[in-house]
Amino acid sequence: MDKILRQSLLYDFYGELLTEHQKSIYEDVVMNDLSYSEVARLNGISRQGIYDLIKRCDKILEEYESKLKLVEKFMKAKEKADMMKDKIAVLKEKNADKNMFSLIDELDSYTSELLDDF
């Protein structure tokens, strides 16, 4: 998995366990793609300070993942949901019964929304 994608997923699941200060800087660097120098300037911290903070946050987030494995579990559920979307697409294609159209559509929507809460 791409590093930024992994950092984003870890942050989505465990970000709330970081301090406000850590969150703010992690978001600027990882989610908003600002440069270390820019975030350093904006926060009145050295570039090295930002680098260390990001590294420390990565370590904290990875430690939570090693214990709770939420990203891993989420990716597996996402895979299953994607396979369901494929099956539903085939179902839509094969179905000739007008009474079943809306039912299949509803099922499709539910599948799309199912993991949105996470």
One of 41, 55, 56, 76 touching a copy of itself (CB under 8 A): 76
Structure tokens at 91: 């179902």
One of 31, 34, 45, 70 touching a copy of itself (CB under 8 A): 70
Tell me how far, at minimum, the Cβ of 9 lies from a copy of itself, in Å.
14
Q: 95 CB contacts (<8 Å, ≥6 apart)? A: 101, 104
Question: Strand, helix or coil at 65?
Answer: helix
Structure tokens at 84: 């369901």
Output phi, psi for 104, to 5 deg: -65, -35
Q: Where on the chain is the footprint of a copy of itself (CB under 8 A)? A: 13-14, 16-17, 64, 67-68, 70, 73, 76-77, 80-81, 83-84, 87-88, 90-91, 94-97, 99-100, 103-104, 106-107, 110-111, 113-115, 117-118
